[in-house]
Amino acid sequence: MPALLDGLVDDAAVFPPGSATLPDALVAHRRHRAAWYAGLVGPLLVPASTVAAGELSGLVDPAEGLVIGVIGDTGIGNLPFALSFLAPDGVTARQVEVAVARRGEDPLPGIADLLRVADSLPDVEAVYAELPLTFGLMGALDALAAARADGVPVAAKFRTGGLAAELFPTPAELAAVICACRDRDLPFKLTAGLHQAVRHLDPETGFTHHGYANVLAATLAAAEGDGVGPVAELLTVADPRPLLERTTGRQDAHRPLWVGFGSCSILEPLTDLIRLGLVNGGYDA
């Protein structure tokens, strides 16, 4: 697996639209982690409510050293309680992700709450503040960047899709966010809507989805100093060739800025990567 794609896809099997049961998701995740494409796969993402209900107990051998990401569906203040259930089962939460505001709300109070909690999250390497792409966004990025400069392992997370058209940022909006994170040296994650490698229209919903290969090319362009216009242009293209040109000669370098995205399927993005020639390999799954 090229270093450029290392850990690109977090395993969100238990979340819609896949909505796998936790036992099935664990079986599949272990299979992914043992496969030739294991380098592509990030942690299994599990809701905090599931963790706090003790649903991992009995499903995990403490000796296996399971690493997960916890999605804070129970709110910021309840994160320490949820994480307290992990150690007895030998599970480690590598990352925590939680929304700090709804659309139209000021995100700064939620960020302040998250920063107060961050010190009480044992063994967590990264804390992602999910930010709405609306009111107060740039101030929120400034606050995260300042906290990160002080040694707090915080980063940003943005939604790139959902069940309504307004949840899909335009290429210009997403490009502005990518460049804003670049300017602040602030890593970011994305979630929702990134089902395929290249930008496309979903015939079932009528929504145009961003492609993760578009985001990869756009992030590489931003990291090399391109402005919002050229970055947005890469996010609009439906032809994979200009996207692949951006990755030429970069496969052995680690991916800048963009930590990755969650997907309820691991094999779907893997298939597109193979088709595009970004990954060489065949299935053993």
Can you give the pTM of this predicted structure?
A: 0.95
Residue 283 has pLDDT above 70, yes or no: no
Answer whether 49's CB lies under 8 Å from 98's CB. no
DSSP output for 172-218? HHHHHHHHHHHHTT--EEEESS--SSS-EE-TTT-PEEPPHHHHHHH
Residue 182 has what pLDDT? Answer: 98
Which of 189, 248, 180 lies closest to 217, judged by CA?
248
Domain map of the chain by residue range? 3-276
Which two structure tokens, joined as six digits, stand for 248? 């030429």
Band of residue 164 on the pLDDT scale cut at 50, 70, 90:
confident
- Give 114-149 pLDDT, tens digit per residue: 999 998 897 899 999 999 998 899 999 999 999 999
Report the CATH superfamily, name and number, of domain 3-276.
Aldolase class I (3.20.20.70)
Residue 281 has what pLDDT? Answer: 66
Residue 134 has what pLDDT? Answer: 86
- Give 227-239 pLDDT, tens digit per residue: 999 999 999 999 9
Please, what is the average pLDDT of the chain?
95
Residue 151 to residue 240: CA distance in whole angstroms: 38
- Give 62-118 pLDDT, tens digit per residue: 999 999 999 999 999 999 999 999 999 999 999 999 999 999 999 999 999 999 999
